[in-house]
Amino acid sequence: MRVHGCDECARLWEKYTDATFDFVKLDAQLKMAALRYESSVVMARLNEGVVVAARRRDAALARLKQHEGTHQTRTAAAAS
């Protein structure tokens, strides 16, 4: 749940978007390298990049969900 007007939501969404883009880009490079039968050194380097990008993406999503939870808590508290 993205709250419009929340600067932290916007910042975290931007981080998540950037991390997702990086992951997709590196994953595509890895797949293209496999199709070109690149060396095992190149494949290992690309694979490590994909793993790091996936971790970064997952961490950004976790931070986003954690922050979004604070909005739900505030909304529930305001309603009671």
Can you give the residue ranges of every domain in the chain? 7-79
User: Tokens 């993205």 label which residue?
Assistant: 2
d(CA 8, CA 5): 9
Q: Residue 38 pLDDT more than 60?
A: yes
Mean pLDDT of 38-53: 96
Q: Which two tokens stand for residue 64?
A: 């986003």
d(CA 33, CA 10): 34
Residue 48: its pLDDT value, please?
98
Q: What pTM did the predictor assign?
A: 0.81
Residue 50: its pLDDT value, please?
98
| Confidence class for position 2, pLDDT limits 50, 70, 90 | low
Residue 72: its pLDDT value, please?
76
* Percentage with pLDDT > 90 across the chain: 78
Q: Which of 47, 65, 67, 79 is nearest to 7 (CA)?
A: 67
